[in-house]
Structure 1
Amino acid sequence: MTNYRSSPQLSRRGVLASAGAGAAAALLGAAGRPGAAEAALPGRAGTRVVVIGGGIAGVAAAWLMDGYCNVTLLEAASTLGGHNATVQLDVDGRQVAVDLGAQFFGPASHPIYHKLVTSVLQLPTVPNALYNTVAQYGVQTPVMVSPSAGRPITDVLPYLPGLQAIGAVMAGAKDLETRQDWDTTVGEFVEALAVDETLKQSLVYPFVASVNGASIPQAKAFSARAALALGVRPLVGDGAEQRTEYVNARDGLQAVIAALAGEFTTVTALTNSAATGLSRNGALYRVVDAAGRVHVAEHVVLALPPEPATTLVAQLPGADPLVRAYRRFGYMPARIVVHRDPVYMPAASTDWSSFNILRDGDHAEASIAFQQLRGDVTLYKSWALNRRQEPEQLLAETTFRHPVITPDFIRAQSVLHSRNGCDGLWFAGSHVLDVDSQESALVTAIRVAAKLSPLSPNRRRLGTLPPSPVIP
């Protein structure tokens, strides 16, 4: 168990320095434990809340309620963060923060999250130059290489048919976004495109599948809008040509978690503390954690993935509709490796891009080249669940579950929306709203906090929210 306690003497700079050294978890934490407040209605100060799940949704919800509600945050893992997982690597004598899970965000695709990170928490970011190469295993010449700074236009002219095909994909994706069409599947969307059949198979399907970490057959069942949303959203709206910026948190997304948790005052965050029991007696919930501790609260926020959430809600009477809804959220395995050797890159270095997609049969996995992405370090982050060979210079790896966002996945979200807050049970997380992103997770946390802590100091710090594509 780790108690995260905040201290008036611990500055944000100190927290970030510790996070950069990989020691933030040992320094952060909550100054206050939940008191014996009287039962409170939503919106009243002193309300007791248990937040289950310490990813960005759970940590943000706790932070937004801090100073107003008495919050207990339970996380099953040894550290907070969830998919905001950062490793500190020594690369040529230099410490480099690498995000193993979530990574990219921008002012157009993630406007509220971007504001939180850059304006409220004032964390440093590094720009990313995102451009693509798509190739097939065993074929030396790529199917497509996109333009980029430093790549002469003459070098990409042979790939004009592929570039035009991706242009057609983006135009169709903008139409889906404008119409808010979640029902058209990737298979239906691609087959309707006026694109050569060979390019559909060798380029379009691999491109869409790799962006979502799926096999090509899996990707065909995705909602086309969900599959393409994060790539196309910067291109929608006024001034779209100036909205394609993506960044990373310089010290990794774990630094975002560290900064939020470092400001806790009325939040007790307990790691290695999976919630194992959930019951309700009158107006009060009882949450039992893995250590056998019992946490009593007026409200419970489920900010954990659907699979463990199902186990908890099934313990409540009358929860069958929620259980059925949770079981409609499909997931698939993913494996990420960080390495020094360019084992998954195109044969010719002149064809390298920041995002390199290699199709091999039904699988299309990507490799991010940091030297192309940021220009400051030679390093690769690759999806490697179905590769033919392992990297020779493996530095780090992780596995996790990635959502399969089908049209039914989106429809299942409406069940959670309809029951959000009923009997003091709330839902937060990237699966609850829109597509899987830091933005959707944060927005769900804001919606919960708006009901339970409308006058909290951190919600006021966040200020007026910019328009977000995840909010209909």
Structure 2
Amino acid sequence: MAGVSALYHLQEYDKEAKITLFEKEAVLGGNATTVAIKNTKGEICTVDAGPQYFADQAWEDYLDFIEKTIGKEEIKYESVGGSLVIRQVYEENAIIATPLNGKMRGEKLGNLLKFKKLNEEAHRLYKEADKHSGLTIEAWVASLNFDEDYKQQIVYPFLGSSLGVSVHDIRKMSAVDIVKLFAFRKPKMSDKFHIMQEGMGTIIQKIGASVKNPNVTIHTSALVHDVLLKENTYLVTYHKNGKSVTEEFDFVIMAVHANTAAKILASDLAFKSISNTLKTFPYFEAKIVIHNDDSFVHHKKPAFLNIFTDKEHNIVSSTMNLDLISPRLKGIYKSWMNTEDAEKVRKQNKLLYETVFYHPMITVEFVENLKILHHQIDNFAPNFCIIGGWSEGLETQNSAVLSGKRALEIYKRFKQQH
């Protein structure tokens, strides 16, 4: 999305610019991968393997971008209320089950009031982010007025599953960035999330098609492996159709993850300091499995998000029950799970699709190194930048659009100097 956003904004600003976009995959989309699978009725339906939903108040730049490109009327979406169940793998009863569609389900009122308080505290942190830079999730949770069992059994698994990481890893994350995932609206406001019927990946492909013109070239299945500085221009080398091709450009925008950017820039010593900083950003592996194994969801108390933990309260799996969204998604579940469980699902012939995504771990050090990276790029050259949702902090479709706008501001300064 970041590359498509940059393409659109630059083209709108400079109609005469000749722009080339390189996409390593066969279609545009990046992590926003939409796949076609069969539901339990045998009907073909589309499901997002990557980013799944958007919500009011936190995706406004993303929605505005869609309106400006293909028009929001092109989007058909379904909505689902936020609901949560946490249970241990070997226990039938849930540790906590939040209301479903506003209806209580026999949950202890004390647990629900504490969960409401957690969301209120997260929203306060979200609104006062500038005051709490450098605060880790572990330090923030320690400051909350909950008993230790509640923190270990409910708070940490919930926070870990919000990003798709382990409880061990979530402790090190930047608190002000992690709460952006769920605390962007006041607790009393609607908890609805919206899911695009066509899928977020399909929407990006439509946007890409809408911005094509004689001055825009989009190369798919084109893997860039080198960017070299040549005086005031850049030589970009990529592989396509089994051939290595090099082209020269006046301005380069790298809309890739930090680890990929480091590899692409490694051949040129001119980028050494930038490349070294890029290597400092830690990543984690998220195994996404779309399947129809209902043992990964709670049956007595259905919920959109089902978090299963072990006896030490570590996350074993985190599953979205897509069945609750729409009849077209009947019997379809999307899980973050370990390799062992994925293999069990496969052997039972219940695996529909699987993939692995690599996401940046937004630690406090990550945030500080991001400031260093931006400073290095600003002082490197006026015709070069690195963007992506991760470069704005937390990675979402909305932050990816924002990073495209940032690329435009850098391009504007470049044009003013030339």
Q: Considering the TM-score relative to the shorter chain, is it more than 0.5?
A: yes
CA–CA distance in 2 between the matches of 1:111 and 1:337? 29
1:380 counterpart = 2:339: no
Q: Name the residue aligned to 2:111.
A: 162
Q: Which amino acid aligns with 1:340?
A: N
CA distance 1:116–1:261, change in 2 (3 Å): same
Give the TM-score normalised by structure 2. 0.87
Map of 2:365 onto structure 1: 408
Q: 1:387 Cα shift?
A: 5.6
2:7 is matched with: 62
**Could you report, residue by residue, the CA deviation over 1:242-267 in whole angstroms, capped at 9, with x for unpaired residues?**
45432122200122211111121122
Give the 3 Å change call, closer, same or farther, for CA 410–401 of structure 1 in structure 2.
same
In the alignment, which residue of structure 1 is the partner of 2:416? none
**2: distance between equivalents of 1:409 and 1:149?**
38
Aligned to 2:29: 81
Q: Distance in 2 between matches of 1:119 and 1:287?
A: 30
1:408 maps to a residue whose letter is E
Could you give the per-residue CA deviations for residues 35-72 of structure 1, whole angstroms, max 9, x where no partner exists?
A: xxxxxxxxxxxxxxxxxxxxx11122122223442111
Residues 257 and 244 (structure 1), Cα distance of their counterparts in 2 relative to 1, 3 Å cut? same
The 3 A distance-change label for structure 1 pair 164 and 241 is closer
| 1:447 counterpart (385, 390, 406) | 406
Normalized per residue, which structure has more helix? 2
Seen in structure 2, the aligned counterparts of structure 1 residues 127 and 97 have a Cα distance that, compared at 3 Å, is same
Secondary structure of the equivalent of 1:234?
Answer: coil
Cross-structure match for 1:426: 385
**Aligned partner of residue 69 in structure 1, secondary structure:** coil
What is the CA–CA distance in structure 2 between the aligned matches of 1:318 and 1:286, rounded to whole Å? 13
Aligned 1:19-38 pairs, distance under 5 A: none
Report the Cα distance in structure 1 between the residues aligned to 2:100 and 2:359, rounded to whole angstroms.
30
RMSD: 2.1
Q: Answer whether contact 1:416 1:427 (CA < 8 A) is retained.
A: no
**SS of structure 2 residue aligned to 1:83:** coil
Say if 1:182 and 1:226, in contact at 8 Å, map to a contact too. no
Shift of 1:241: 3.6
* Alignment check: 8 A CA contact 1:108 1:233 kept: yes
Q: What is the deviation of 1:357?
A: 0.8
Aligned-partner residue type, residue 3 of structure 2: G
Question: Deviations 1:283-311 (Å, cap 9, x if unpaired)?
Answer: 21111112321111111111111111002
Q: 1:326, 1:243 → 2: CA distance?
A: 39
Percent of matched pairs sharing the same residue = 22
User: In structure 1, the residue corresponding to 2:149 is in which secondary structure?
Assistant: helix
The reply on whether 1:250 has 2:197 as its aligned counterpart is yes
Instruction: Give the partner amino acid of 2:338.
Output: L
- Alpha-carbon contact 1:416-1:432 (below 8 Å) kept: no
Matches within 5 A, 1:36-47: none
Alignment of 1:60-459 (within 5 A): 60-66=5-11, 67-91=15-39, 92-117=41-66, 120-121=69-70, 122=72, 123-124=74-75, 125-149=77-101, 151=103, 153=104, 155-156=105-106, 158-180=107-129, 181-235=132-186, 241-242=188-189, 244-263=191-210, 264-265=212-213, 266-290=215-239, 291-346=243-298, 349-360=299-310, 361=312, 362-378=314-330, 379-385=332-338, 388=341, 390-391=344-345, 392=348, 393-420=350-377, 422-423=380-381, 424-452=383-411
Contact 2:125 2:179 in 1 (8 A): no
Per-residue deviation, residues 352-386 of structure 1 (Å, max 9, x unmatched):
10111111243343111112234543211111125
Shift of 1:337: 1.0
Q: Deviations over 1:125-157 (max 9, x none)?
A: 222322111111111111111112263x2x24x
Measured in 2, the distance between the counterparts of 1:187 and 1:205 equals: 9
- SS of residue in 2 equivalent to 1:312: helix
Contact 2:7 2:19 in 1 (8 A): yes
Alpha-carbon distance in 1 for matches of 2:67, 2:116: 31
Q: Which runs of 5+ in 2 are unaligned?
A: 414-418
